[in-house]
Chains A and B, each alone.
Chain A
Amino acid sequence: MVGEDIGERLAGHWGTDRLHIEPFPGTAGKVRFDPALVLDVLRVMRDELQFAHLAMVAGIDWEKHREVLYALWSDERKQYILLSADIPAEAAHIESASSIYPSANWHEREAWELVGITFDHHPDLRHLLTPDGYKFHPLLRSFKLHEPETLEVKRRDV
């Protein structure tokens, strides 16, 4: 698997306590890292590991924390790699990737307005899809389309 050298290279930089790589089917793996490292990890990804294309930045709300997910593509390896950083929900800040990958610009604007993740030092953090001055973050789990009556049903195998 091509993903092995990625793990070695990353471990060589930061060890395994602040960053580890786990397998993810169909990709070179999913790297979980400390959000403080984001710029360094992305720079290594782009410059040393040839992931030249940032395909996606996604925010996921896990209620207790929020996850920032980057999908990178390498033309040389013909592989995607997923990078994921967990940030606390009460201080949802992470450094913007748009200084390294300019394509992160709009993705981060979208994640900011929909999932409520603030990207520090973003060049142009304006509303993209929602109207200017819109105060809600619709993709948070606390933003309900309607209040469903939750019915717990046990499932058993007899």
Chain B
Amino acid sequence: MSTPETSSRPPNDNPILWVAKPLLTAAKQFRKSLFRPSTIVYPFERLEDPKFREEVAVAAGKPIGIGAVWDNYRGVHALNIDTCISCNLCAFSCPDLCIDMVNVAGGDPKHPKKCPEIDYGKCSYCGFCSDACPEGCLTMTTRYELSVTKRADMVFSPERLYQVYEQKLPMNPIRLERPENEDQILLDPPVCIGCNACARDCPTKCITMLDIVKPTAAPGEKMPKRIWKEPVINDSDCVRCGTCISVCPKECLFWGTRK
């Protein structure tokens, strides 16, 4: 035990004042809030409205809005379908598994474009999806009113998320920098069969299939004139979504670092 210090407790008997001080304090507050209490009359006054904040915080001298800045708020998502590249990163990064990739109009019928559909019944508004979005097309807005009467209405299809985007609400501006030493996607050349699946499905089209000649014949023999293709990944465009790894039929792509 450390050394006890002397008690700094104030004397607890003030028989003369008794309860006068608390009464006076309450009365002081009564006078202060007689005409304008600190409450925000919610549906009519909104904290995210900067004009209201200015009026109340500055003009009325009320504590409301001392710390309020709404730019970083994590509310309902806004999705710009046009720039979405269907990389799946938002769905991968969701801890609650509330994001589904669903087909949207556009894209060729064989490989339809997929965009996130968010179930707000499960969403915890952690913002990992918008952090993970490499194109900045899935962002969180300041909209927080979500009451619905049907459970099915909680699921926001990409089109509904696009409607939120079109409202041009203030959006969370934060973009995370990628770490310098993140893994790259590497190729195991002998296993590759050149099937083109990775290049076809790559959302950023950073994989190009380059022609190579597979030295399958022994030296001296006549080389087979068959042209093999091998993926070459443009690292600066790659968003590390791992789609190529998951579609590779031979598991010849993998994560790693090139030293």
Say which size band chain A's interface belongs to: under 10
Q: How far apart sit A153 and B248, CA to CA, in the bound complex (Å)?
A: 13
Say yes or no: A154-B254 contact (C-beta < 8 A), given A75-B1, A75-B2: yes
List B contacts of A153 (CB < 8 A): 254-255
B186 interface residue, CB < 8 Å from A? yes
In the complex, per-residue mask of B240-259: 1 if CB is within 8 Å of any chain A CB, else 0: 00000000000000111111
Give the shortest distance, in Å, between B248 (CB) and chain A (any CB): 12
Q: Across the interface, name the chain A residue whose C-beta is closest to B188.
A: A156
**Do B256 and A158 have beta carbons less than 8 Å apart?**
yes
A-B residue pair count with CB separations less than 8 angstroms = 20
**Do A158 and B258 have beta carbons less than 8 Å apart?**
yes
Give the shortest distance, in Å, between B190 (CB) and chain A (any CB): 13
**Do B1 and A156 have beta carbons less than 8 Å apart?**
no
Chain B binding site: helix, strand, loop or mixed by DSSP? Answer: strand
**Do B256 and A156 have beta carbons less than 8 Å apart?**
yes
* Extra pairs beyond A156-B186, A157-B256 (14, CB < 8 Å): A75-B1, A75-B2, A153-B255, A154-B254, A155-B254, A155-B255, A155-B256, A156-B254, A156-B256, A157-B258, A157-B259, A158-B186, A158-B257, A158-B259
Give the shortest distance, in Å, between B26 (CB) and chain A (any CB): 41
List B contacts of A155 (CB < 8 A): 254-256
Q: How far apart sit A155 and B254, CA to CA, in the bound complex (Å)?
A: 7
Between B256, B258, B259, the greatest number of chain A beta carbons within 10 A of the residue's beta carbon is seen for B256
Say which size band chain B's interface belongs to: under 10
List B contacts of A154 (CB < 8 A): 254
Q: How far apart sit A44 and B252, CA to CA, in the bound complex (Å)?
A: 58
Q: Across the interface, name the chain B residue whose C-beta is closest to A154.
A: B254
List A contacts of B258 (CB < 8 A): 157-158
20 pairs from A and B in contact (CB 8 Å cutoff): A75-B1, A75-B2, A153-B254, A153-B255, A154-B254, A155-B254, A155-B255, A155-B256, A156-B186, A156-B254, A156-B256, A157-B256, A157-B257, A157-B258, A157-B259, A158-B186, A158-B256, A158-B257, A158-B258, A158-B259
Chain B residues 1-35 with CB under 8 Å of chain A are 1-2
Chain A residues 105-158 with CB under 8 Å of chain B are 153-158
Q: Across the interface, name the chain A residue whose C-beta is closest to B257.
A: A157
Q: How far apart sit A99 and B1, CA to CA, in the bound complex (Å)?
A: 21
List A contacts of B1 (CB < 8 A): 75
List A contacts of B256 (CB < 8 A): 155-158
